[in-house]
């Protein structure tokens, strides 16, 4: 069965600190997709990144970076030099490719508060 | 591209009433998804359409819930005989394909009193 665990319920940092959000997933499938979404206080989920199971390259996009490690079934997200606008709930999600299912299974989210 | 639109943004209804929500996806996206999100939880999958065909339904989608996507354009989600446990944010998303991330709408917040 698919499962996503985000063990950190809430994190609070001071602006300009680096912060890493953890995501651990479970799947029996060899082909799957991992996602991160941001949900600011306005409520709309914003897509940040998609990674497929065959691509273990780390990715950097501006202040954001992602570390995908199949050996530990983890897909962690780091924000460098955090800003107040980064305050949001961040969700990690998993989608298996087998069986034609296209549903995303989300973790419970990590609420990040960046204080000035 | 105006994004995914959902209507209404908020709905308060009395227990036992029927409610219907509408979702307008990004026009070139053939896939449309409904999710439900309760406070402090991640979104949970309800159902998915590819064009007008409903291809997958979650066990969460009881027989009081029905979704349609006539002509593969907008979609409606109806809840009959609402219960207090139906109170949640109902999210719609669309996508050009499974390999791509979804674009979510702002959601419809349902409160059953």
Q: What is the pLDDT of residue B45?
A: 94
Average pLDDT over residues B75-86: 97
Average pLDDT over residues A78-102: 91
Average pLDDT over residues A56-79: 91
Q: What is the pLDDT of residue B38?
A: 95
**Chain A residue with minimum CA distance to B58:** A103
Q: Verify whether the Cβ–Cβ distance A102 to B56 is below 8 Å.
A: yes
CA contacts within 13 A on the Cβ side of A25? 30
- Could you tell me which residue, A57 or A10, shows the higher pLDDT? A10
Q: What is the pLDDT of residue B71?
A: 86
In the predicted structure, residue A101 carries a pLDDT above the cut 80: no
Q: Provide the number of CB pairs (under 8 Å) joining chain A to chain B.
A: 63
In the predicted structure, residue B6 carries a pLDDT above the cut 70: yes
Confidence bin at B72 (pLDDT 50/70/90) = confident
Q: Which residues of A touch B (CB under 8 A)?
A: 4, 33, 35, 37, 42-47, 49-50, 52, 91, 93, 95, 97, 100-109
Which of B45, B103, B107 lies nearest to residue A104, judging by beta carbons? B45
- Could you tell me which residue, A101 or B22, shows the higher pLDDT? B22
Q: What is the pLDDT of residue A60?
A: 85
Both tokens assigned to A100: 């034609």
**Chain B residue with minimum CA distance to A6:** B42
Q: How far apart are CA A89 and CA A43, in angstroms?
A: 9
Average pLDDT over residues A82-111: 91
B42/A contact by beta carbon, under 8 A: yes
B5/A contact by beta carbon, under 8 A: no
Q: What is the pLDDT of residue B1?
A: 53
In the predicted structure, residue A61 carries a pLDDT above the cut 90: no
Q: Kindly state the DSSP code that residue A72 receives in the 8-state scheme.
A: G
pLDDT > 70 fraction of chain B, expressed in percent and rounded: 97
- Structural contact between residues A84 and A114, judged by C-beta atoms closer than 8 angstroms: yes
B41/A contact by beta carbon, under 8 A: yes
Q: Using alpha carbons only, give the angle A23, A25, A29 rounded to the nearest 5 degrees.
A: 150
For A94, the enclosing helix (H) or strand (E) is strand A88-96
- Structural contact between residues A60 and A10, judged by C-beta atoms closer than 8 angstroms: no
Measured between beta carbons, the chain A residues lying within 8 angstroms of B106 are 42-44
Per-residue b or e along B36-63, where b marks 16 or more CB atoms closer than 10 Å to that residue's CB: bbeeeebbbbbbbbbeeebebbbeebee
Average pLDDT over residues B53-59: 91
Q: How far apart are CA B87 and CA B84, in angstroms?
A: 6
In the predicted structure, residue A33 carries a pLDDT above the cut 80: yes
pLDDT > 90 fraction of chain A, expressed in percent and rounded: 73
Average pLDDT over residues B52-78: 92
Which of A44, A49, A93 lies nearest to residue B106, judging by beta carbons? A44
Average pLDDT over residues A32-39: 94
């Amino acid at each position: 069965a698919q499962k996503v665990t985000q063990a950190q319920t809430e994190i609070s940092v001071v602006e300009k600190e680096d912060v890493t959000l953890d995501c651990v997933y479970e799947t029996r499938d060899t082909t799957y997709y991992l996602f991160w979404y941001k949900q600011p206080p306005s409520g709309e989920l914003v897509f940040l990144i998609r990674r497929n199971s065959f691509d273990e390259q780390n990715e950097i996009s501006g202040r954001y970076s992602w570390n995908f490690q199949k050996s530990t079934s983890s897909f962690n997200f780091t924000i460098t030099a955090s800003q107040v606008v980064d305050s949001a709930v961040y969700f990690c999600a998993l989608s298996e490719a087998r069986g034609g299912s296209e549903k995303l299974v989300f973790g419970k989210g990590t609420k990040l508060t960046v204080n000035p | 591209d105006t994004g995914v639109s959902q209507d209404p943004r908020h709905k308060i209804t009395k227990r036992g009433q029927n409610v219907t929500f509408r979702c307008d996806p990004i026009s070139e996206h053939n896939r449309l998804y409904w999710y439900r999100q309760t406070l402090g939880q991640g979104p949970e999958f309800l159902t998915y359409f590819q064009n007008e065909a409903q291809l997958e339904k979650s066990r969460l989608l009881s027989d009081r819930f029905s979704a349609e996507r006539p002509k593969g354009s907008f979609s409606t989600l109806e809840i009959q005989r609402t219960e207090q446990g139906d109170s949640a944010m109902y999210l719609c998303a669309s996508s050009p394909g499974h390999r791509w991330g979804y674009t979510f709408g702002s959601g419809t917040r349902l409160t059953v009193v």
